A and B are shown apart, each in its own frame.
Chain A
Amino acid sequence: MKKIEAIIQPFKMEPVKEALKNIGIDGMTITEVRGHGRQKGHKEVYRGQEYNVDLLPKIKVELVVADARLNEILTALTTAARTGKIGDGKVFVYDVAEAIRIRNDDRGEAAL
C-alpha cells in the first residue's frame, strides 16, 4: 500500500476530485494548508501599502491506495492538477505498513 500526499492549487481541487472519481477513487482527506516552494509568494500593493503574500493558500490531498493502482492514480492526479506553471504543487508517495478499519478490524488492502 502507498500513501499519496499531494499539495495542489486550490482551484484544482474540483478537477482532481473529479479525475479520481472517474477512476473509482472516492475516499480522500482534504486539508486547507498554506505554503510555498519555488513560487516564493509575491508582493501586492494595495492603496500604496505593500502586502507580502509569503504563504499561499494550497490544498493538501491525502489518500492511501493499493500498490497495483498507484501509477494509474498518480497519472490521473497530476494530469488534473497541472497548469504547467510555477506553483502547481508537488506529490509525495510513502510506503504504508498497515491499514485497519476500526469498525470491523479489516486489515491491509481490504481496509482501504
Chain B
Amino acid sequence: MMTGEKLRFDPIGALDERTSAVDAQVLHAWQRHLGLSVPTGAAILAVGGYGRRQLFPYSDIDLLLLFASDKAAAAHKEEISSFLQQLWDAGLRVSQSVRTPAECCELHEGNIELSVSLLDQRYLAGDAAVYGTMLAKLPRFVHGQRDALVRHLSRMTRERHARFNGTFHHLEPNIKEAPGGLRDLQLVSWLAQIAGTTPQAFSGLVHLPELDEARRTLFALRGYLHHQAKRDSNILTFDAQEWIAELMGVEETAIMRGYFRSARAVHRSALGALESEEARASSLFAQFRDRRSRVSNADFTVARERIYLRAPQQLAAEPELALRLLQFVGRHGMRLSLEAEQKMAPQLAAVRQYFAAPRPVWPALLEALSLPHAPLALRVAYETGVLTALFPELERIDCLVIRDFFHRYTVDEHTLVAIQTLVELRGAQAPPASSFAGLISEIEQPSLLVFALLFHDVGKGSPREGHIDASLRLAERAMERIQMPAAERDSVRFLIRHHLDMSVTMNGRDPFDPSTARDFAHAVGTVENLKRLTLVTYADISAVNPAVMTAWRAEQLWQLYLLTYNELTRELETERIEEADSPEQTAFLEGFPKRYLRTHSEADVTRHMQLELEGRPRGVAVALEKSGSIYRLTLVTGDRPFLFATVAGTLSSFGMNILKAEAFANRRGTVLDTFSFADPLRTLELNPTEMDRLKATVERAVLGRADVKQLLRSRPRSTPPSRKARIEPTVHFDDQASQSSTLIQVVAEDRPGLLYDIASTISSRGTSIDVVLIDTEAHKAIDVFYVTAEGRKLTSEKQGELQKALLAVLRG
C-alpha cells in the first residue's frame, strides 16, 4: 500500500526539516519558562544526533542544560520542569542532563557518555557567556583525556560488535547498532574530533567518497524505517526491505546490495580509525621496533601487525607487485594498513589495465593460493579492490544478495567463507570435519580447489544465464588470461560444472540403491575428482550459513563419498578397455583398465604410445617432467618380476618421496607405470643434470644393470618419529572388491624405501602386481595393491604367508 504521503517523503531532507522544527519548539519553550527568569548563568545546548542536526523522525531529543553553578540549577528546578513538560506535551521524547561547565570537563566512569555527547554539542539559546566558559575548556579537556576517551569508545564498540558476531552480514540488519551501522559512522567522526582533526584528515585513512555514499544510504534507510514505524525502529526487516524497494521503485536485492556496500565501507573505516588511534596510544619505541620487523622485505614493511608498502607509487609502475602482495599476506597472515590501502586505491586502474592483457600470472597466483593464509590474502585483496583488478569477473557478485531462507551471506562473502572453510579444514581434529581433512592431504594441488571456489558462483551475477554456465564462461575467460595450463583448467572446469551434483544426489537419491553410487561414479570418473568434489561440496555447503553443516549433513556427504569411492576402486579391475579409436591405439590400450582413459588426456595417450615406440629398441623408455612442485615419471616397458619395486626403490635411492603411483598392464604384456613424487631435498632443482642421471638409473635398474639394494644402501635412513606418533602397520586382504584380483591394503608409517620394501616382498612370493594405488597422508602411507598369483586370486594360505612377511618388513 503506497500513500501519497509516503511518496513525497524525502528521508535526507526530513532530517534538517525536523531539526529546524524542533529547534523552534525548544526555543519557544526556553523563552517561555527559562529565558526571562534566568537571563544570565544558564544556556541550552543540543547534543547527540540533535546536536549534529541529524534528527530522524521519532528519535529522541538530547538536551544539555548548562548552569553556571549547581546552586543556580537547584534554584530554577520549577522552571526546568515546566520547560521539559512543555516539550513532552508537544510529543517530543526528550532526554536531558543538567550540568555546570566544570562538570562537563571532568572525566569519571559515570559521565563518560556525556563527554562523548559533548563532541556533538550545538548552542541553542541562553547565556552565551556560560556557554563560552564551557567551550573554552572543552578542547583542552578532550585533548587531555584523549586516551581515556579512545579506550572507552574502543571498548563500547568492540562489545557492540560482539553482540552481532562481529559481522555486518545479517539478513535483517540493525542499521544503527550492527557493525557498519550508523554508530560506526559516528565513531569515525568522534575519533577524528578527539584526535583534533577532521574525518578527512584522520591519519589520511578514511575513504571519503565511499563514506559519503554510505552515509546517504544509511540515513535514507533509517529515515524510511522511522517514518514507517512511527518510532525509533532500526531493524531492516524483510517487510521493510519490501516496501522501501517498492517506494524507491527498485528491486529488494538492490536495497540490500546498497546496504551491504555501505556497511562494508563504514565497518572498515571504523575498524581502521579505531586501530590507528589505539596504535597511537602506544609508545614510539614500540613503533620503531615494529618497523624493523623481521618479515619486512624489499617491497613491504610491517608495523603493529599491519603491512605497509615501501614505495606505494610503485604499484602503478609495476603491477606485478599486486601478486607479491597476495603472497606476502598469504605467507604472514597480516592485513594491510589503511594507509597502504588508501595509497594503493588510485593506482588500481593501472593494475587492472595491466592484468586485462593475457599474462603468465598462474605460477605466482598458484604460489599465493598454496600459502597457509591464502584465505586472508584473498579477503584482503578483495576488500581493497586488488583482487577485482586482477579478476574483474568478481565484480558481478560484489555484495550480491541471494534472497533465500538458508543463505546468510552475500555471494562474495559466501565465496570467501567457502575458501576459508576449505583451508581451515586442514587442521580439523574432530569429526565430522576430520574425515574430510584427510582428503585434503591426499589430493594434488589443493590450491586448484581454491581457484575453483573463487569462481564457482560468479555466474550468480548474470541472472539471464544459468548460474553454472555463466560461472564456467567467466572462469574460462580468467583462466585464459592468466595462462593457466590446460590440465589445471580441466580440473577447475570439472569442479565448477559439478559443484552442485553431490548436494543434489545427497538430497534426491537413495544412497543404498546401487545405481546411485554407480551413476555418481560415472559422473566423477576418478577417485581424485571425487575427493576434490567432496571437498568443494563440503566448503560450499558450510559457507551457506554457520549452522548448515551439521554432523548429520556431513555424515550424508561422507556416506556418498564412501559409496562412490568403493564403486570407483572396485570397477578398477573389472572394467577393461576393449577397443580404441585406431588399430594402433587399440593395440596399445587393449587390456588397460578404463580408469586409464579417464585419468589421462588424449595428448597423454599419444605421448605414452610415442614413449612405447621409442623404448622398443632398448626394451624400456622413461619420461620425466615437472608440474608445479611435483615430478612425474612415466615408464613403459615389458612386464617383468620386481618391476614396480625396482622403480620405487630407485626413486627412493635418489631421496625422492613417492606420493602416488599407478601401474597398468595391457594384453600384450606392456606395462605403463607412473610415479608422482616430491623432491624434498631439491636435488633435481639444484642439479639439473640429475634429471638425466635419474632417468638413466631407472632404465638401468629396470633392465637389471643396476642393483636397487645396492643403490638404497647408500641412502641414510631417516629417524623415525617418537613412539607416540608411530603408526602401527596393518595389512588387510580383500577378495570381494575385484573379480579377478586380491586387494592388499597396507597402512604404515611412511619412510624412504617403504614402497620398495612392500613391493619387493609381494613380488618375491611369485605374486604379480596388476594395479597399484599409493597415497600418503602426512606420515601415513596407504597403499593398495591389486595382485594375482598365476592369474588368480590369492589362496588363503598365500594370504597368511604374505601378511606375515609384510608385517615383518613393515615393523623393521
Contact = CB atoms under 8 A, between A and B. Distances in A.
B552 A14 contact: no
A34 B552 contact: yes
Nearest to A59: B552
Interface in A32-77: 32-34, 42, 44-49, 51, 53, 57
B345 interface: no
A11 interface: yes
B471 to A, nearest CB: 24
A78 interface: no
Given A32-B553, A34-B552, A53-B559, A47 B782 contact: yes
A57 B552 contact: yes
A32 B550 contact: yes
B747 A87 contact: no
A45 B441 CA distance: 20
A48 B556 contact: no
Given A10-B556, A57-B552, A57-B556, A44 B507 contact: no
A63 to B, nearest CB: 18
B562 A14 contact: no
Contact of A9 (B510, B552, B562): B510
A38 to B, nearest CB: 14
Contacts of A57: 552, 555-556, 559
A47 to B, nearest CB: 6
B745 A47 contact: yes
Nearest to B552: A32
Interface in B45-83: none
Contact count band on A: 20 to 34
A85 B511 CA distance: 12
A11 B747 contact: no
B509 interface: yes
Nearest to B556: A57
A109 B613 CA distance: 82
A83 interface: yes
Q: Which of A13, A32, A42 has the most CB of B within 10 A?
A: A32
Contacts of A85: 510, 512
A86 to B, nearest CB: 9
Nearest to B550: A32
A44 B734 CA distance: 13
A51 B555 contact: no
B796 to A, nearest CB: 17
B577 interface: no
Contacts of B730: 48
B522 interface: no
B563 interface: yes
A51 B562 contact: yes
Interface residues of B, number: 26
A3 to B, nearest CB: 23
Interface in B515-562: 550, 552-553, 555-556, 559, 562
Contact of B507 (A14, A42, A51): A14
Nearest to A44: B562
Contacts of B563: 44
A47 B784 contact: yes
A33 B552 CA distance: 7
A48 B732 contact: yes
Contacts of B556: 10, 57
B520 to A, nearest CB: 13
Contacts of A11: 506-511
Q: Which of A11, A14, A83 has the most CB of B within 10 A?
A: A11
A47 B510 CA distance: 23
Given A32-B550, A32-B552, A48-B732, A10 B507 contact: yes
Interface string A66-109: 00000000000000000101010000000000000000000000
Contact of A14 (B508, B511, B732): B508
B506 A10 contact: yes
A9 B511 CA distance: 10
A47 B552 contact: no
Contacts of B559: 53, 57
Contacts of B300: none
A87 B512 CA distance: 10
Interface in B713-746: 730, 732, 734, 737, 743, 745
B174 to A, nearest CB: 23
A49 B512 CA distance: 19
Contacts of B745: 47-48
A87 B508 CA distance: 15
B566 interface: yes
A45 B734 contact: yes
Contacts of A33: 552
A57 to B, nearest CB: 5
A1 to B, nearest CB: 27
Contacts of B734: 45, 48
Q: Which of A49, A51, A57 has the most CB of B within 10 A?
A: A57
A49 B782 CA distance: 11
B207 to A, nearest CB: 44
Contacts of B566: 44-46
Interface of B: 506-512, 550, 552-553, 555-556, 559, 562-563, 565-566, 730, 732, 734, 737, 743, 745, 747, 782, 784
Given A46-B565, A48-B730, 7 more contacts: A9-B510, A10-B556, A11-B507, A11-B509, A14-B508, A34-B552, A83-B510
Which 8 A-B residue pairings sit nearest by Cβ, starting from the closest?
A: A48-B745, A48-B732, A32-B552, A57-B556, A11-B508, A46-B562, A57-B552, A44-B562
12 contacts: A9-B510, A11-B506, A13-B507, A32-B552, A44-B562, A44-B566, A46-B562, A46-B566, A47-B747, A47-B782, A57-B559, A87-B512
